[in-house]
Amino acid sequence: MALIIDGKKVSSAVKEDVKKSVEELKKQGVNPCLAVIIVGNNPASRTYVNNKKKACEETGIISKEIALDEGTSTEQLLEIIEKLNLDRDVNGILCQLPVPGHIDESKVISAISPDKDVDAFHAVNVGKLLQGVQSFQPCTPAGIIKMLDYYNIGIEGKNCVIIGRSNIVGKPMSMLLLQKNGTVTIAHSKTKNLKEITKTADILVAAVGRANFVTADMVKDGAVVIDVGINRNEDGKLCGDVLFDEVEKKASYITPVPGGVGPMTVSMLLENTVTAAKIQNNLK
Ligand code: NDP
């Protein structure tokens, strides 16, 4: 039976550290502030934005919400981002994705100043990640590394298999695992013999976006299984990419959904906001 990796617990520990850092910054006259842009009325986006605002409040970070109509154009959005880029009271900027289809998402990502890009999506920050010199950690993958560290799960020399190659999860995850000296394989929808590959994984990260995709026969005995997926099953219940009840019997460690990777993503965003405030004020 696997040990459950408690994302809420690790996330609370990160938030406590963030809170202390914010208090220190305030003593030096710096009030870390995160601007969160939301366009339209996507209910999932609204929930994510509310969670981020709540987490800011818990840790003393000022959160500034910019809620825009569904009909906002790319140009209007870019103008708002430019104002936030220039606003010295704003340290971090994020635009909740996805934006409505008529908005050019790549222009939005490129418009956010790399120094305030707390999601680490800007090409400059992606390039730095590739070079291993990043200031901002890609939130979801960095949250996963934090959880592994917290549970003393070593990465060096381990076979790490990631299912999924998105810019948000799969690709940056591969870079962070590589930085930690894991031997990394990335699988995707065109991968042949997926099961043979996943069965070699000491650490298996599922970022597919398909309910209960990873079954026990895809998992090696004693593997560490990290479930990034946020899906709804046929009953409308929240579930991950991993068939938890089966896989937990085989894994050594496993993250639940909810309560695993999700809370970590938000905590890492807070950490990045503190980092941004420090960099912008030449503080360590
Ligand atoms: P994407 O849809 O961008 O990427 C999914 C990846 O899965 C793609 O690379 C795709 O391959 C691959 N894939 C799809 N089908 C298969 C298959 N049959 N076999 C192997 N690979 C397959 O999703 P994201 O990376 O953005 O998100 C993944 C999941 O994680 C979602 O459920 C999302 O909601 C969740 N998520 C959770 C977060 C959290 O904080 N917990 C944060 C971000 C995301 P290909 O590239 O070939 O199409």
User: 3-state SS string over 179-191?
Assistant: HCCCEEEEECCCC
Q: Is the pLDDT of residue 254 over 90?
A: yes
* C-alpha 51 to ligand 1 mean position (Å): 21
Q: Is the pLDDT of residue 146 over 90?
A: yes
Beta bridge partners of 63: 34
> How far does CA 254 lie from the centroid of its chain?
18
> Helix, strand, coil proportions of the chain in percent (round to 5)?
45, 15, 40
> How far does CA 41 lie from the centroid of its chain?
22
Q: Is the pLDDT of residue 284 over 90?
A: no
What tokens does 138 get? 């890609």
Summarize pLDDT for 161-183 with one digit per residue, the tens: 999 999 999 999 999 999 999 99
Q: How far apart are the first and last CA of the chain?
A: 43
**Catalytic residue flag (residue 284):** no
What tokens does 159 get? 């076979």
- The pLDDT-based confidence of 211 (bands split at 50, 70, 90) is very high
Residue with the smallest CA separation from ligand 1 atom 30 is: 229
List, chain by chain if needed, residues with CB within 6 Å of any ligand 1 atom.
140, 163-166, 168-170, 187-191, 194, 207-209, 228-231, 261-262, 265
**What's the whole-model pTM score?**
0.97
Q: Which of 232, 230, 223, 213 is nearest to 264 (CA)?
A: 230
Peptide bond into 138 cis (omega under 30): no
